[in-house]
Structures are given as C-alpha cells and as structure tokens.
Structure 1
Amino acid sequence: MRGNSRARRWVAALSCLAAACALPLPAALAADAPPRFDDGFGITVLDQPEWVDEHHRTFVLTVATDQVPGFAPIGRQVSGEHAILVVLPENYDPGVRYPVNYLLHGSPELPDSPRYQVLPERATEGVPLITVTPHGGGRGWYSNWVAPGASGVQNWESFHLDQVIPLIDANLSTIASREGRAISGHSMGGFGAFHYAEHRPELFGFVGSFSGDLDLLDPRMRGAVVGSALLPAAGLPLDPPDAVFGSPVWPGDAVWNEQSPAHHVEPLRGMGVAIYTGDGGDLLDDPVLAVAEAVVRDAAAVTSANLTAAGIAHRFADYGDGTGWGEGCDGKHARDACLQADLDDYVGLLAERLQHP
C-alpha cells in the first residue's frame, strides 16, 4: 500500500486549492477520499490513508514511531512501517463525535488482515462506532520490553497509549475521553486490552477479552509468550526468550507476576468489563486450537474469579463448544465464527455503556 496514486495527488492538490480560496470541496470529491492525517505525538505519517475497498468504510494508515523504530516483520511487512487499520461507521460524518473501540490483534497476526476488517464491519452495522486496530507486532505483547536486545527499543505500550490514541483523536471525529473509548482484543490482544486498561484506567470506559492470554502466572501461558519469541511465523529475526518480561523462572520472574492481568484487576473498578471464551470443543478436531482455547479458558476463569472476589461487576461469556453462541462457532481458538459472535455481543454492550451520537 506504499505510495499514493496520481488520482490521490490530484485530490490533495485540489484540497489545498480549495482551502486557499476558502471554498469547500465538491461533496462527491470529499466523500470519495478517506480522512487525511497529520504527523504528531511522536508519530510520522508515511502513507496517507487508503480505502481497503469500494465500500469506503475501512482504510489503512502507515506510520513510523520513535517508540518502536524497528521490529521483526512478518511476510510483506517492512520493519519500522506500522499499519493501522480503521473501520469507520456507516455514513461517517466529520461533524459528529463518535466513540472508539481499539481492537488489538493476536499473535502472529497483521492488523490490516481481512479478519480485522470483516469482523468489526459486520459487528458495527448500524452502530455509530469507530474501530481502530493498531500494529502490535507478531510478538509485541503490548508491552514495553524489558530486554529487547538486537531488536532495539520495543515500547509497544507507549506507542499505542501515548501516541496512537492521541493521533486518532486529533485526526478523526472522536469522543476523546474514557466515556467514549473502549479497548478489546483477541488472544495476545486480549492480554493487551486488559494490560492497558489496568495500567491506564483513565483512558477507557470498557474493556473486553476474546480468548485472551490473561494469566501470566500459568506456566502454559508463559510458554506461549516465550515460544512466540522463538517462532519464525511471528517475525524474523527471532528474539531472546526473556525479551518481553525478563526471565520466566523464579526468582527472576517479578515482571511476569506484576504484569499478569488476571491478578491485578482492581484498576478495572468502575469500568465495563467483558470476558469471552470457549472450551476448545472436540479435542480430536484440530487439537492444537482445542488445547489453546482450553488454556485461555482457564485464564478467563481465574480472571473472572478475581473480579468477583473484588466485587467488580463483569460479563463472563463462557460458551463451551460454541453451541448456540454463533453460527459455525465450535469453541476453538481463533475461529472467526466465534470471534464474530464475541465482537457482536461486545459492541452491543458498548452501545449501551459508551457515550455516542
């Protein structure tokens, strides 16, 4: 998506001309172009937004940041170039202020993959909600890394909370307060959503986890984090196993304990909270995804129990093998049918809780 077309340069030129003459652009031309973004907050815009398709709801913006100047790219990615995918409400009106849901992707995924276009487009049909999926790296774990080594600075948390959020608020018509802002995510992104909400509760009015990796005290989850550093599919070159949270082994595992969302729920008090999980369904049908979901279900149960003990109201949707939850959902990890049902339900909660037009 690098580079602007000749037609887009003409649009920019006409925009400047219209501004200089204090004249509005023709309605058809203005409606045909996605919003333009200015640099700011430590972010440099490398490529202006381009629509993903002819429906003109979803666009991709490419940026650079001093907080993650380089990363281990996956496939077509270029290190240092961060894609941010944005799904606008139908008939987006720059004169109206909209709530925003930050939807964090899993590992190893790309933010501008079809999943993160299709799921929120379907979930927000008729709902005045902006969805933003920032790049979180193949193994970024939505954290400021303790020992990044050869990868250099990997401050994913600072990138997203201190740079991406204000950039979105400055360039789109948003409700720029916790009353109009939510965060959610799948798998690694579920960890990120709770991690961010617990660290910065003043930013978010609602948090949701879709099969999230919430319990860093669980050795199986520690294995998943360490394993992602050694997984070529999560980006090359590989990273040290202790890069993100330090040593996972006692007595050097203090950071793991401090950053476990399941065990630090108090900051979520007063926030809307939702947790979604299946049980893996039939173990003989795709055993890898079945076991993966069974592990995150245990993490979800621990988190829910700690929320309940703290007296924090929350929604815990444990849909087992997916029966009756969503058409085609089989209770396994990373299934679009299950994630669609999760997000549909979550967006319904946001429509009730968040400030909106």
Structure 2
Amino acid sequence: MVKKSSVPGPPTPSRRRLLRIAGGATAATLLGGAGLLASATGAHAAQDGFGLRIVDRGEDDPRMKYYRFATDAIDWDPAVNVLLPDDYAGGRRYPVLYLLHGGGIGQDFISFDRAGIRQLTAGRPIIVVMPDGGPAGWYSDPVHSNAGPRDWETFHIAQLLPWIDANFRTHAEFDGRAVAGFSMGGFGALKYAARYHGHFASVSSHSGPASLRRDAGLVTHWANVSSAAAELAGGSVYGMPLWDEARVSADNPVEQVERYRGKRVFLVAGTSPSPVDWADWVTETQVLAGQREFRDRLNEAGIAHEQYEEPGGHVFRADVFSRDLDGVIARLRAA
C-alpha cells in the first residue's frame, strides 16, 4: 500500500460533494519573475511570482515539495506537488514532466502520490510537477462560471509553468518539457500539447479522450455537464445549450493533428471495461474509440506515435506509465 502524502488537501471539500461518482475510475473522469533566479538553485525556498502567492508550503521532504497558492485565476487556493529526482542536490538541471490528474471526487494534486509516483520515478532523472486541476476543470478556462474564476488553463500555462522554471533547475525549453495525464488529465495533456505547441516535446494520454465531437459530441456534453455540477455552479466549459464551436475545435485533438508533428505522442486505452460496471464501460469504450480515431488521423498525416490497447477498463496502469516514462526521458534533453 502506498503511503498517502502528508500534505494537506484542498481547503474546500464542499466543492467535491457536488459530484457523487469517483473521478479516477468512472464516467466523471472522462466525460470526466524578478527575485526568483537565486531560488532556482534549490538552495533557497521558493518565492512568489507570475501571479502566484504562496500561502502554504512543505519543503522538508528531500524529494517531494508542496505549495499552495493564492491566484486571481482560481477563487480557491490550488496546490501543486513537485517531485524532484533523487540526486537533485547535485546541482544539475533536469527535464520536467507535467502530470495531470483525472476528474471527479477525490482527484487532486495528491492523486499520483497515492498511485505510487515516488516509487515509479525513483532513480530517474526528471522533475515531475503535479498540479490541482479541479474536480471537473477540464484543463480549460471556461466559457462561463457562476463560481468565481476557474481559469485552470491560465493557472497551469501562464502562471505555474514559468514559476516552476524560475524556482527549480529545469531545462526551460521545448525539449525540456513533457505533459501527460490520466483520464480528464489525458485530455488536458493532449490539449495543452497542441494549443501550446512550442512548450512540450512529448505528450502522453493514459485513458484520456482524444475526440470531442464523435457520437454527437458525447465528451463535450459530459465536459459541460460535469463542470456545471462540480466546478462552475451551473456554468460550463464550452457553453450550454450552444457550444462555442471555435473553442471546441481548438481543443479537439483530432482536429489539431498537425500540432503534434515533431512531438513524441503516446496513447493507451483499455479494451475490456467491466460489462457490469456501466460507468467503466461507457467511459473506456468512448476513450478507446476516440483514441483509435486520433490514431487514424495521425497515420493519415504521417505523424509518428505510439498507441497501445491493454486489457481492462478505465484505470491508471502503473506498468504502462513506467514504460511511457522511459520514452519521455529518452525524448527530452538529458539532465
């Protein structure tokens, strides 16, 4: 059993009561600067900057660092875990993997710590950044929110990414960054890699949807419904009842295939979700179909990629992630 991180969780648990089904293995997951340079040596505590003000921190663990921020982008204080390599104290710079959690109740910046990320990365020369993304934030700035700011895309890309580069010894360049995620986070990884083409050299989607419009836009509808219930107090990511069609197309991996050219692309989905678990079956069936559609588009465009189909349903496969991590490290600039 993996020991749970001792750092505190999000301070507003009431936001989670709105969504009854667990996000890691249910349909909810799919359908669910200045003054900072010295701290980047790792010899000093991390500093505020880039719109982020540190309101809580845990820096005693030699590998796992925890920070909670006040930010105008989110109206509660989101957190991040930053997992350093075993030999980070040696003074080298490292590539970075941004690892995005799934959606639903109980899914947050600690999710991958619960899943054994410390053991999975032991001895590997890479920094892993695991931020909050909301129970149904969909790694997006929503079209409309009734719950105050929930601009997760702004928080991750405009604020957290440069804050990490300023406070840790990273390779702050295209070939120094990867993005990956599970379920909703797998979609977020694909979205960020396309929308921010020059930011990430490798992208991995573990049971994450890759097509927003198939089956009458089932994933888009679920993003709207789940975000309205669990994140935005009746608002929506893409607009209801009418979608912001330009936003959907900009976020849709199968419509942005050329944005993956020159990147390492890794996809995995399950082929045998439980026939007696409706949520598992619907979720992974949709994920698999969408990833196959995306794979076909990549093949048509002549874009290299890895696509795997594994037994089981909508679960995080630690063994597959370990294999993926080897590929991430091989693609990125070495420490």
TM-score normalised over the length of structure 1: 0.76
Greater radius of gyration (CA)? 1
Partner Cα distance (1:39, 1:142) in 2: 23
Partner Cα distance (2:241, 2:184) in 1: 17
Going from structure 1 to structure 2, the CA distance change for 1:35 and 1:107 (only over 3 Å counts) comes to farther
* CA contact 2:86–2:123 (8 Å) conserved in 1: yes
Aligned residue in 2 for 1:238 = 233
Aligned residue in 2 for 1:214 = 210
4+ residue runs of structure 1 moved beyond 3 angstroms?
Answer: 114-119, 247-250
Aligned residue in 2 for 1:223 = 221
* CA contact 1:214–1:299 (8 Å) conserved in 2: yes
Please state if 1:318 is matched with 2:304: no
Q: Which has the higher contact order (CA 8 A, sep 6+)?
A: 2
Letter in 2 for 1:257: S
Partner Cα distance (1:158, 1:262) in 2: 23
* Deviations 1:42-79, CA, capped at 9 Å, x for gaps: 1111112345xx6x4223211111222x1xxxxxxxxx
Partner Cα distance (1:110, 1:165) in 2: 21
TM-score normalised over the length of structure 2: 0.81
Partner Cα distance (2:294, 2:168) in 1: 34
* CA contact 2:101–2:111 (8 Å) conserved in 1: no
Aligned residue in 2 for 1:332 = 313
Report the Cα offset of residue 35 of structure 1: 6.1
Q: CA RMSD in A?
A: 2.2
* CA contact 2:266–2:306 (8 Å) conserved in 1: yes
Aligned residue in 2 for 1:349 = 327
Report the Cα offset of residue 244 of structure 1: 0.9
Going from structure 1 to structure 2, the CA distance change for 1:223 and 1:59 (only over 3 Å counts) comes to same
Going from structure 1 to structure 2, the CA distance change for 1:281 and 1:34 (only over 3 Å counts) comes to farther
Going from structure 1 to structure 2, the CA distance change for 1:97 and 1:348 (only over 3 Å counts) comes to same
Partner Cα distance (1:203, 1:42) in 2: 19
Aligned residue in 2 for 1:171 = 167
Going from structure 1 to structure 2, the CA distance change for 1:35 and 1:123 (only over 3 Å counts) comes to farther
Please state if 1:86 is matched with 2:86: no
Residue 308 of structure 1: SS of its match in structure 2? Answer: helix
* CA contact 2:141–2:153 (8 Å) conserved in 1: yes
Please state if 1:144 is matched with 2:125: no
Letter in 2 for 1:260: N
* Deviations 1:16-39, CA, capped at 9 Å, x for gaps: xxxxxxxxxxxxxxxxx9962101
Report the Cα offset of residue 100 of structure 1: 0.5
* CA contact 2:137–2:227 (8 Å) conserved in 1: no
* CA contact 1:83–1:112 (8 Å) conserved in 2: yes
* CA contact 1:35–1:49 (8 Å) conserved in 2: no
Partner Cα distance (2:224, 2:154) in 1: 22
Partner Cα distance (1:213, 1:262) in 2: 10
Report the Cα offset of residue 221 of structure 1: 1.1
Report the Cα offset of residue 262 of structure 1: 2.2
Please state if 1:293 is matched with 2:284: yes
Gapped regions of structure 2 (runs ≥ 5): 1-6, 9-41
Going from structure 1 to structure 2, the CA distance change for 1:280 and 1:291 (only over 3 Å counts) comes to farther
Partner Cα distance (1:261, 1:248) in 2: 22
**How many aligned residue pairs are there?**
293
Residue of 51, 63, 68 corresponding to 2:69: 63
* Deviations 1:181-221, CA, capped at 9 Å, x for gaps: 10011111111111111111111110110111221103321
Residue of 249, 253, 264 corresponding to 1:261: 253
Going from structure 1 to structure 2, the CA distance change for 1:259 and 1:248 (only over 3 Å counts) comes to farther
Partner Cα distance (1:145, 1:356) in 2: 36
Going from structure 1 to structure 2, the CA distance change for 1:306 and 1:206 (only over 3 Å counts) comes to same
Question: Percent identity between the aligned chains?
Answer: 33
* Deviations 1:212-261, CA, capped at 9 Å, x for gaps: 12211033212321231344xx35x7333xx21113657x6443233212
Partner Cα distance (1:117, 1:59) in 2: 15
Going from structure 1 to structure 2, the CA distance change for 1:258 and 1:166 (only over 3 Å counts) comes to closer
Letter in 1 for 2:256: H
Going from structure 1 to structure 2, the CA distance change for 1:186 and 1:145 (only over 3 Å counts) comes to same
Partner Cα distance (1:194, 1:40) in 2: 27
* CA contact 2:204–2:266 (8 Å) conserved in 1: yes
Going from structure 1 to structure 2, the CA distance change for 1:174 and 1:258 (only over 3 Å counts) comes to closer
Partner Cα distance (1:258, 1:182) in 2: 20
Letter in 2 for 1:57: R
